[in-house]
Amino acid sequence: MKPAVILFPGSNREQDAARALRLVAGAKPTVVWHAEHELPAGTDLVVLPGGFSYGDYLRCGAIAARANIMDAVRAHAARGGLVLGIFNGFQILCGAGLLPGVQVRNARLRFVCRDVLLRVERADTAFTRAYRKNDLVSVPVAHGEGNYTADETTIAELESEGRVAFRYARPDGRIDETDGPNGAINGIAGIYSEKFNVLGMMPHPENHIESEIGPTDGRGLFQSLAMALKAA
Amino acid sequence: MKARVIVTLKSAVLDPQGKAIEGALHSLGVGGVQSVRQGKVFDVELAGNDRASAEAALKDACDKLLANTVIETYKVEFAE
């Protein structure tokens, strides 16, 4: 496993992502500056971390989505390489056209920073194989613009193709979009690309990996990646 | 040549910020406000005086960066 974590001006979760890859997946991630044109040779996973790239100027992720390194990330994804975008990374993936849709201001206009429950919609992808379908996992969110939306056709496609990765759930597993942290349509917290090799999600699995500081439900995502890339 | 680019949310897209501003205007007692939708304005200076090439450049700018055409529309105005 050879992950690259991309660092943009204003990223602030790159060390959390790198730490999770080290502690849970046993990997040695490289942090790559956004102005680079190439990923390190042999990169098999690209992580776009959370943060506030370019201070969220213009739109969240909009400027980072046009960074030099994004051409290399796009080529990596086109080859079937794995890409994980968390929070600002998800916003960047949407801004770069690697995932459809957009995150708009939270419905209640508040920055939301708390643990949420996610329902794992499928457990047969490179990102979720260490979970079981319909598992409820606790991970934190910390964002002001995570209200995922897209046009009706896109949402219908995502749903019919099974490309919703996680939904905000109640403790009984039911989805209630009005009860979610940000008002995202159909409670969508994360989505896959058409080939399921790109995942974007608003919550932070990298922050729930150590029992000393709380739940460890985020470990499954990094365990899944380790399993997927070991098998490859 | 000076141009102004105006980016606004498409009419079908909810605008919670506009709603909050609308509510604030009501609570300030500003009368007659029926609804508010907010957006962005970019004042751009372009080299040269060719209107057609300026329009083309600004369209390029909007499609590539200034607007997210999933949720936003834009229009360009030139200073007389």
**Regarding beta strands A102-104 and A136-143, do their DSSP bridges make them parallel or antiparallel, or are they unpaired?**
unpaired
* Closest among A5, A208, A25 to A118, alpha carbons compared: A208
pLDDT at residue number A154: 97
pLDDT in tens, A179-211: 689 999 999 999 999 999 999 999 999 999 999
Give buried/exposed letters for A45-64 (b at 16+ CB in 10 A, else e). Answer: bbbbbbbbbbebebbbbbbb
Q: What is the ipTM of this complex?
A: 0.82
Query: How many other CB atoms are found less than 10 A from the CB of residue B64?
Result: 11
Average pLDDT score, chain B: 94
**Are the beta carbons of A87 and A10 closer than 8 angstroms?**
no
Identify all chain B residues contacting A66, using CB atoms and an 8 Å cutoff: 64-65
pLDDT in tens, A9-60: 999 999 999 999 999 999 999 999 999 999 999 999 999 999 999 999 999 9
pLDDT above 90 coverage of chain A, percent: 94
Q: What is the DSSP letter of A45?
A: E
A153: which residues sit within 8 A by CB, 6+ positions away? none
Which of the residue ranges A65-79, A104-118, B6-20 has the most confident prediction, judged by mean pLDDT?
A65-79
Residue A153 has pLDDT above 80, yes or no: yes
Residue A95 contacts B, CB cutoff 8 Å: yes
Identify all chain A residues contacting B13, using CB atoms and an 8 Å cutoff: 104, 149
Q: Point out the least confidently predicted range of A136-150, A167-181, B37-51.
A: A167-181
pTM: 0.93
**Structure token pair of residue B72:** 């936003």
* Closest among B47, A66, B37, B57 to B76, alpha carbons compared: B57
Distance CA A69, CA A35 (A): 6
Average pLDDT score, chain A: 96
* Closest among A168, A125, A128 to A148, alpha carbons compared: A168
Instruction: Select the residue of A66, A101, A108 nearest B65 (Cβ to Cβ).
Output: A66
Distance (Å) from the alpha carbon of B33 to chain A's nearest alpha carbon: 21
Helical ranges in chain B per DSSP H:
16-27, 51-61
